């Protein structure tokens, strides 16, 4: 995930939403620790019935078991609004469209956060997850970048 930390646009963000991986997702935890080490703040998502709520995370903070087998921040922590999101994916295309696990949580979070400030979106995954075209629906939010072990992809469909 060195390419993630080297991304100039991400270096400019003050508060970055990351995630704890499940299944075979790419692991952003080393990058999250690197962000903290260089003085940036990191938040993790908490899945609620209304969507993702981000809460600040610091190295060593205990996480709690959440829905879908996720590790989440303590729900009593105050919500925060990241200006960048590191987004998991199951598949992606070069226009920035992605497939997650089908519940639209990240699309909703990106849409909601973008109403008040620009949000940098960076998907992380593996080169083998790239497909020619992900079918997009009107609510889908394209990623600005995708980072894999093969390098950084600046997505064509993102603003």
- Tens of pLDDT, residues 36-48: 999 999 999 988 8
Q: Calculate mean pLDDT across residues 128-151.
A: 92
Q: Which residues contact 57 (CB under 8 A, 6 or more apart)?
A: 18, 32, 42, 43, 44, 63, 73
- Tens of pLDDT, residues 12-71: 999 999 998 887 889 998 999 999 999 999 999 988 888 899 999 988 777 777 666 677
CATH superfamily of 2-154: NagB/RpiA/CoA transferase-like (3.40.50.10420)
* Bridge partners of residue 117, in order along the sequence: none
CA 150/CA 159 separation, integer angstroms = 23
Which two structure tokens, joined as six digits, stand for 45? 């998502």
Average pLDDT of the chain to the nearest whole number: 89
- pTM of the prediction? 0.91
Question: In percent, how much of the chain has pLDDT > 90?
Answer: 65
């Amino acid at each position: 995930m060195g390419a993630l930390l080297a991304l100039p646009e991400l270096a400019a963000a003050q508060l970055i939403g990351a995630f704890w991986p499940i299944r075979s997702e790419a692991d952003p935890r080393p990058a999250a620790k690197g962000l903290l080490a260089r003085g940036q703040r990191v938040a993790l998502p908490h899945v609620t019935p209304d969507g993702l709520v981000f809460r600040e995370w610091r190295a060593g903070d205990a996480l709690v078991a959440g829905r879908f087998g996720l590790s989440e921040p303590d729900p009593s922590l105050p919500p925060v609004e990241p200006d960048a999101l590191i987004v998991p994916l199951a598949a992606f295309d070069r226009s920035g469209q992605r497939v997650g696990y089908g519940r639209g949580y990240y699309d909703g979070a990106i849409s909601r956060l973008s109403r008040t400030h620009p949000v940098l979106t960076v998907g992380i995954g593996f080169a083998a997850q790239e497909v020619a075209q992900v079918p997009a629906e009107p609510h889908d939010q394209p990623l600005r970048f995708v980072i894999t072990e093969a390098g950084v992809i600046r997505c064509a469909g993102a603003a």
